[in-house]
Amino acid sequence: MKIVGSIYRDMVVSAACCLDNNKETVNNLNVFPVPDGDTGINMSLTISGVRSADYVAFEGTLGEAAQKAANLMLRGARGNSGVILSLFFRGIAKAWKDMESADCEEVIAGFKRGVAEAYKAVMNPMEGTILTVMRVMTETAEEAFSNGVITEVSALLPFMYKAADETLQRTPDMLPVLKQAGVVDSGGAGFLCVMEGMVKALEGNPVKAQEVKPAIAPAADFSSFSTEDIKYAYCTECIVTKSDKYKGEDTADALHQFIMKLGDSVVFVDDSEIIKLHVHTNKPGKVLTEALRYGSLYTVKIENMKHQHSNLSNEAVAAEAPEEIAEEPVSTGPVPIEKKYGFVTVCMGDGIRDLFTDLAADSIVSGGQTMNPSTEDLVTAIENTPAEIVFVLPNNKNIYMVSEQAARIVDSRKVVVIETVSVPEGMAAMLAFDESATEEENVEAMKEAVANVTTLSSTYAVRDTEIGETAIKAGETLGLYNGKIVSTSDDRVACLENLFEKVDGASIITILYGEGAGEEEANHVAELMQEKFPGVDVMVINGGQPVYSYIISIE
């Protein structure tokens, strides 16, 4: 037996379905108790493109099927785990380029190339992660093939799945933090789901996608009204997986009433486990911020209806125009370059968006903790920035790799990713920028500014766990110093005060308050910091960010 294009297509589609079915289980393996357990969602969204009707019906060679799947995953990649998964499949596609089929030896060669591509993306790979599961699985299979234990593809994939599972179960012995939390690596668990789906398809029992066929309706005439007639610009949809506090039917009426005030065309489903909402609004950020109070975002879609209407109107006009005019394509590529430098930054919260806008960011991508943008999202933002050199500020450690992938895809302008892992670091980088300096001088200045920033933040624990010798209870406030949990308390302000003790000195302090915090409390926090650092300028800004009640920048 050999793997041909149609078999491989079915294997990756089955893998996507299997991962989607188990994404919440994978999410729950996240070691740290902060509300960002989205490994399963990120990996599922990364691979979900292969479930499209276009790919499910694809007919072609093995090389073509592998390349098409890799392209879909690369552009859909979200989070570090998603990027690693997409690169694994890109490596397979590279190894199988121009191939009609693959036998046992060639399958192993493809997986080896996939592992190599995935490892290249991680600067300091650690044992006990998804990378370990991929590598040990492949090495074990290669050894078995070399020794004649495995000779057929039909036996190879089940053997690899078993090796992956055994390696996954050993990850707690490789990473002490996993053993302490009593879990296996979440990324590795997601990869095991992928392998399970591939094996089931190879055995003739693929995991099926549940597709909903849309009703057939006549096409609308989008040229019958003006773009200016659209009162609310953004069609905003999301699904929220309810937190324990809100599980049960009809527990989110306050959210329903909130979005009713922000726009029209409201559709609201308040189920026992999820909330599904749709609204046309001019403030999509406020909708998502409020929705996050009820749980974690499962899916998000925001579309600019004015932009869509303009495009559809143009298509309608082109369709009715004489043939020689209709043949002229409407440009949908990168915007023209108008200046030397530009910025793309990632953030959440209306106040933080306004800050980056004031700092002259050209494109702002909505995303951060619990909602990682895809590679495609960043590619679009970069190509919509009218600059020769575009600096990208991911502002989150889980978005950096996606930013790097986007930079490799864009060829219409030079893209430079500055490794910012927090909003304060992104702000510091933009403040250090000098329009008159060279690219190299700016990169050096921004990196230096980032290195001189300390980020304090507070959020809440989503479950009971232990970090080191610290016992953490669900619902407690967590204080983070440069992303590491160093303080816990039932009292948010007390937790912040413990954080302040970790700081040696400051010259400028900016307090961004968000979910759960109010202006009065934020001003009290500012007074406490003023007492600790007399004479230091302290600014208080309503950042509006979800998940984190406070993000504090100290320079």
383 backbone φψ class: left, alpha, beta (φ>0; ψ -120 to 50): alpha
Long-range contacts of 242-249 (CB under 8 A, 24+ apart): 242/272, 242/273, 242/274, 242/275, 242/294, 242/295, 243/294, 243/295, 243/296, 243/462, 246/294, 246/295, 247/272, 247/273, 248/272
Q: How far apart are CA 298 and CA 42, in angstroms?
A: 10
Mean local confidence (pLDDT), 196-220:
68
CB contact at 8 A, 88 and 110: no
- Cα dihedral 262→267→268→273 (10° resolution): -130
- Cα dihedral 220→226→231→232 (10° resolution): 50
Q: Is the dihedral of CA 38, 135, 183, 195 positive or negative?
A: positive
Residue-wise pLDDT tens digits, 492-550: 999 999 999 998 888 899 999 998 899 999 999 999 999 988 888 899 999 998 889 99
Q: Are strands 454-460 and 477-481 parallel, antiparallel or unpaired?
A: antiparallel
Residue 370 pLDDT: 64
**Residue with more model confidence, 181 or 56:** 56
Tell whether the model's pLDDT for residue 456 goes beyond 80.
yes
E strand intervals along 182-285:
234-242, 263-270, 274-281
Question: What distances in angstroms separate CA 215 from CA 179, 207, 294, 316, 339, one per listed residue?
Answer: 50, 25, 32, 22, 46
Mean local confidence (pLDDT), 430-451:
95
**How many CB atoms within 10 Å of residue 513?**
27
Question: What distances in angstroms separate CA 541 from CA 101, 423, 480, 523, one per listed residue?
Answer: 59, 13, 19, 10
Residue-wise pLDDT tens digits, 152-172: 999 999 999 999 999 999 999
Residue 212 pLDDT: 36
CB contact at 8 A, 73 and 50: yes
Residue 43 pLDDT: 92
Residue 31 pLDDT: 67
Q: How far apart are CA 65 and CA 146, in angstroms?
A: 28
The pair of structure tokens assigned to 439 is: 């690219």
Tell whether the model's pLDDT for residue 307 goes beyond 80.
no
Residue-wise pLDDT tens digits, 507-522: 899 999 998 899 999 9
Tell whether the model's pLDDT for residue 305 goes beyond 80.
no
Tell whether the model's pLDDT for residue 137 goes beyond 60.
yes
CB contact at 8 A, 506 and 554: yes
Return the SS3 of 272: coil
Q: How far apart are CA 339 and CA 161, in angstroms?
A: 52
Q: Is the dihedral of CA 7, 12, 14, 15 positive or negative?
A: positive
The rounded radius of gyration (Å) of the Cα atoms in the chain is: 25
Of 61-65, 98-102, 356-360, the least confident:
356-360
CB contact at 8 A, 515 and 550: no
Question: What distances in angstroms separate CA 157 from CA 60, 64, 200, 203, 455, one per listed residue?
Answer: 22, 21, 10, 10, 46
Eight-class DSSP state of 283:
-
First to last CA, the chain: 62
Cross-strand bridge partners of residue 466: 471
- Max mean pLDDT among 25-39, 232-246, 423-437, 464-478 falls in 423-437
Tell whether the model's pLDDT for residue 325 goes beyond 50.
no
CB contact at 8 A, 431 and 519: no
Q: Are strands 339-347 and 263-270 parallel, antiparallel or unpaired?
A: unpaired
Helix boundaries (H) for 203-277: 253-260
369: confidence class by pLDDT, cuts 50, 70, 90: low
Q: What structural domains does the chain harbor? A: 3-202 (1.25.40.340), 226-326 (3.30.70), 339-451 (3.40.50.510), 454-554 (3.30.1180.10)
Nearest to 539 by CA among 517, 494, 501, 509: 509
Tell whether the model's pLDDT for residue 453 goes beyond 90.
yes
Question: What distances in angstroms separate CA 455 from CA 39, 86, 460, one per listed residue?
Answer: 24, 31, 17
What is the percent of the chain where pLDDT is above 90?
Answer: 53
Tell whether the model's pLDDT for residue 393 goes beyond 70.
yes
Q: Is the dihedral of CA 279, 285, 289, 292 positive or negative?
A: positive
Q: For the packed helices 186-202 and 5-21, what is the interaxial angle rounded to 10 degrees?
A: 140
Mean pLDDT over each residue of the chain, to the nearest integer: 85
Cross-strand bridge partners of residue 485: 480
Q: How far apart are CA 78 and CA 7, in angstroms?
A: 26
Walk across the sheet containing 363-366 and list its strands. 363-366, 339-347, 387-393, 414-417
Query: Environment class of residue 288 by beta-carbon count within 10 Å: exposed (0-12), middle (13-18) or buried (19+)?
Result: buried
One DSSP character per residue, 393-457 reads: E--STTTHHHHHHHHHH--SSEEEE----SHHHHHHHHHH--TTS-HHHHHHHHHHHHHT-EEEE
Of 127-131, 291-295, 315-319, 446-450, the least confident:
315-319
pTM over the 0.75 mark: no
Tell whether the model's pLDDT for residue 49 goes beyond 80.
yes
Nearest to 459 by CA among 431, 435, 492, 429: 492
